[in-house]
């Protein structure tokens, strides 16, 4: 990845983080940690990985489909969609507000959003249905579904994993935002998923780990996906609330919002992380 592109993507990720902090602060909502952990993933998705996805033609039948199963972090998708021109700036601060345009959990009423979620374990089965259709119709597009640690606790997710492997749905790309923090603690102390890649491979998936904050590694992982008779799971090692040092890797970051007197400090932390990214650190 050349420096110009890295800088562009780092700025995009920073803008996503900054808007997530501002929107959740303004709406006094929660889940900011879950949004910040996926900033780089959503950045690479909307800047090259997702094909034929644009605000000018949001219903293009050949578009790659993207479902956010961890719907509580939908604010990060809204922030990315805003950057891509799907809706005007004045929508942003209506997030989580009376008569707002942007619902707390991701909503298909927002332009560019395929599917509403919020209760975990719903995204992958629907993505599997879409991927099955794409395979049956021999469509060219792929179906992406991003999940959380909590999603991976749900039985319905594993039902879908079994089915996708059985039917060799190689147009399906799962993504785990593997920040390893869920609502009541660290996932290894609740329902340890390890070895996650091995479990997925046993059920007929390709699976790999990647640094979920490394833009180049993420892009490479997505570009390496092959239609080889297996669905793919890209397990992104991330840090909850990445960019805000005092909140990183905490359960607390799953709840609440950054208070008014901490917003600029939080944004400054994210900017510092952005600058690190640009330097390749």
Q: Which residues bind another protein (CB under 8 A)?
A: 108, 114-119, 121-122, 124-134, 136-137, 155-156, 159-160, 162-163, 167
Least Å from the CB of residue 34 to another protein: 19
Least Å from the CB of residue 67 to another protein: 9
Bridge pairing between strands 65-68 and 172-178: unpaired
Among residues 163, 190, 193, the alpha carbon closest in space to that of 178 is found at: 193
Least Å from the CB of residue 33 to another protein: 24
Least Å from the CB of residue 147 to another protein: 13
Answer yes or no: are the C-beta atoms of 1 and 215 closer than 8 Å: yes
Least Å from the CB of residue 120 to another protein: 10
Of the pair 161, 225, the CB lying nearest another protein is at: 161
Instruction: Determine whether 2 is exposed, middle or buried from the number of CB atoms within 10 Å of its CB (0-12, 13-18, 19+).
Output: exposed
Give the span between the Cα atoms of 254 and 165, in whole angstroms: 32
Answer yes or no: are the C-beta atoms of 236 and 203 closer than 8 Å: no
The dihedrals phi and psi of 11, each to the nearest 5 degrees, come to: -65, -40
Element (H, E) at 176: strand 172-178
Of the pair 13, 68, the CB lying nearest another protein is at: 68
DSSP 8-state symbol, 64: P
Of the pair 43, 117, the CB lying nearest another protein is at: 117
Of the pair 133, 276, the CB lying nearest another protein is at: 133
**CA distance to 95, 107, 210, 217, 228, per residue, from 115 (Å):** 18, 7, 26, 27, 27
Q: What is the CA radius of gyration of the chain?
A: 17
Of the pair 53, 131, the CB lying nearest another protein is at: 131
Of the pair 90, 136, the CB lying nearest another protein is at: 136
Of the pair 106, 234, the CB lying nearest another protein is at: 106
Q: Which two tokens stand for residue 139?
A: 């469509």
DSSP lists the bridge partners of residue 233 as 174, 207
């Amino acid at each position: 990845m050349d420096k110009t592109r890295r800088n562009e993507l780092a700025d995009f990720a920073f803008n996503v983080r900054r808007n997530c902090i501002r929107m959740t602060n303004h709406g006094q909502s929660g889940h900011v940690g879950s949004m910040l952990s996926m900033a780089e993933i959503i950045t690479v998705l909307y800047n090259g990985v997702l094909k034929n996805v644009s605000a000018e033609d949001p219903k293009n039948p050949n578009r790659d489909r993207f479902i956010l199963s961890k719907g509580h972090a939908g604010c990060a998708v809204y922030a990315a969609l805003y950057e891509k021109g799907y809706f005007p700036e004045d929508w942003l601060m209506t997030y989580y507000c009376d008569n707002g345009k942007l619902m707390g959990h991701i909503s298909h009423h927002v332009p560019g959003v395929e599917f509403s979620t919020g209760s975990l374990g719903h995204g992958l089965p629907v993505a599997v249905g879409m991927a099955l259709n794409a395979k049956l119709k021999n469509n060219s597009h792929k179906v992406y579904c991003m999940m959380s640690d909590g999603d991976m606790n749900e039985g319905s997710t594993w039902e879908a994993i079994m089915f996708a492997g059985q039917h060799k749905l190689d147009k399906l790309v799962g993504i785990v935002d593997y920040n390893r923090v869920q609502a009541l603690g660290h996932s290894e102390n609740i329902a340890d998923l390890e070895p996650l890649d091995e479990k997925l491979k046993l059920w007929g998936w390709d699976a790999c780990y990647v640094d979920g904050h490394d833009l180049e590694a993420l892009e490479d992982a997505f570009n390496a996906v092959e239609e080889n008779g297996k669905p793919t799971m890209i397990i992104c090692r991330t840090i909850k609330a990445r960019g805000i040092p005092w909140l990183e890797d905490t359960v607390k970051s799953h709840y609440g919002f950054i208070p008014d007197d901490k917003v600029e400090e939080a944004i400054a932390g994210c900017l510092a992380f952005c600058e690190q990214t640009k330097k390749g650190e």
